[in-house]
Structure 1
Amino acid sequence: MLAILKKLSVAAVLTLAASASAYSAPKTVLVVGDSLSAEYGITRGAGWVSLLEQKLKAEKIAASVVNASISGETTIGGRTRLPALLAQHRPDIVVIELGANDGLRGLPVASAEGNLRAMVAMAQQKNAKVMLVGMRMPPNYGRAYTDSFFNMFKKLSSDTRSALVPFMLEGVADKPALFQQDRLHPTAAAHPIILNNIWPQFAPLVKKQ
């Protein structure tokens, strides 16, 4: 009986150790975005992706962040680049912040949706969790287009079971003082607000075993 108990104890310890190891194993986060994530017009290290890295360290969460964002990027550009990024970095989590440039150019919403859907599928096929970061278009693009564009992200999130930040500029878009002179790109002061919009949806992904 004693021998059996010892074996059970060893097995239990090994199981607990394996579980702890799995929980603490460092995760890789890949961010694929446009100028809103590429620190356009602000000091390096002041953007929300850099602030995310700092928060992960402060929370003692073992995760590294790869920022593969490019100013001016569209959904077709992200779709084209993603396979190589997945192969190179093997991320556990993929954050897709794209679509704004498609919308500002008035490109068909269906085209952007198709590209984003393909990106989500690529990431999920590699067993990565996905988070979509939504955006709104200015009202001068017309009600039909702006509604269709905004709702696209919710539909994609629901269809693909991906996490969603409905609007990354919530609490920023209605404050002109938080934008640079081009009235398109947030100032450094806006990026902590952006991170606060993103973190509640992101945290469960990075903390999950």
Structure 2
Amino acid sequence: MAKRIIILFLITTCSIFADTKVLFIGDSLTEGYGIAKEKAYPYLLRDILEKKYSKKIEVINGSVSGSTTASGASRLKWFLRSKPEVLILALGANDGLRGIDLTSSKKNLAAIISMAKSKDMKVILAGMYMPPNYGRDYTKKFRDMFVELKKEYSVTLIPFLLEGVAAKKALNLSDGIHPNELGHKKMAENLLPYFRSL
């Protein structure tokens, strides 16, 4: 009986304190453009999760300013060497801003998702919206692209990464595009509900 209790204790302890590696593949919004690295939302989210769940979270931030879905797909393999268990995929904004063919963007995102799922990773896809000046048709197709990927690949979708942050002067840098420290705090809070099953 005592031996069984010890084994159960060890299993429980390992589960609670085991490291969880979370890989972020994104652009300047996830890299933390214009602010200190540790103030970017991936690291703020880590701090919240570690405190909430008493679990060690290792953040691998593979985000680079200016990244498109194509450049993100090309560098994913390198980061998979670290054997992360969770992927936060936050790409597409630069594709949209550059008017890249959405068929190509969707194909690249699908390739990233497929590669991650082949490694048994949980995938959380962060959606984005395009400004209305890009036209009703393009903005709708852009938004729908993320919904289609969610359905086709059974991934978790965050409808809009910048929910409650976009267009709010107090939460963005002077460029009006990139979140400031307060904006990144709000983004981390936005993502928290999607990690309940971590």
Whether these two folds match at TM > 0.5 is yes
The separation in 1 between residues aligned to 2:135 and 2:50, in whole angstroms, is: 42
Letter aligned with residue 92 of structure 1: E
Structure 1 residue corresponding to 2:131, chosen from 127, 135, 138: 138
Aligned length: 197
Show the counterpart of 2:28. Answer: 35
2:46 is equivalent to residue 68 of structure 1: no
- Contact (CA 8 Å) 2:123, 2:156: kept in 1 or not? yes
Maintained 8 Å contact 2:45/2:191: no
Q: CA RMSD in A?
A: 1.8
* Per-residue deviation, 1:22: 3.9
Q: Distance in 2 between matches of 1:177 and 1:61?
A: 32
- Say whether residues 1:190 and 2:183 are aligned partners: yes
Name 2:169's counterpart in structure 1. 176
1:13, CA displacement in angstroms?
5.6
Q: Is the 8 A contact 2:166 2:177 kept in 1?
A: no
Matched, 1:86 2:44: no
Q: What residue in structure 2 maps to residue 47 of structure 1?
A: 40
Q: Is the 8 A contact 1:131 1:202 kept in 2?
A: no
Is 1:97 matched up with 2:102? no
- Alignment partners' CA distance in 2, 1:103 and 1:128: 26
State the shift of 1:137 in Å: 0.4
Rounded to whole Å, the distance in 2 between the matches of 1:125 and 1:12 is 36
For structure 2, the residue ranges without an aligned partner over 5 or more in a row are none
How far has the Cα of 1:10 moved from its partner?
4.7
| Residue 193 of structure 2 is aligned to residue 203 of structure 1 | no
Query: Does 1:21 pair with 2:36?
Result: no
Question: Following the alignment from structure 2 to structure 1, what is the Cα–Cα distance between the partners of residues 196 and 94?
Answer: 27
Question: Given the two structures, how large is their TM-score scaled by the length of structure 1?
Answer: 0.87
Report the TM-score, using the length of structure 2 for normalisation. Answer: 0.92
Runs of 5+ consecutive residues of structure 1 not aligned to the other structure: 1-5
Q: Deviations 1:131-188 (Å, cap 9, x if unpaired)?
A: 1011000000001110111111111112111111110111111423322222211111
Q: Secondary structure at the match of 1:76?
A: helix
> Quick check: 185-194 or 134-143, which moved more?
185-194
- Aligned-pair identity in percent equals 39
- SS of corresponding position for 1:37: helix
Deviation at 1:76, TM superposition (A): 0.3
Q: Which amino acid aligns with 1:70?
A: V
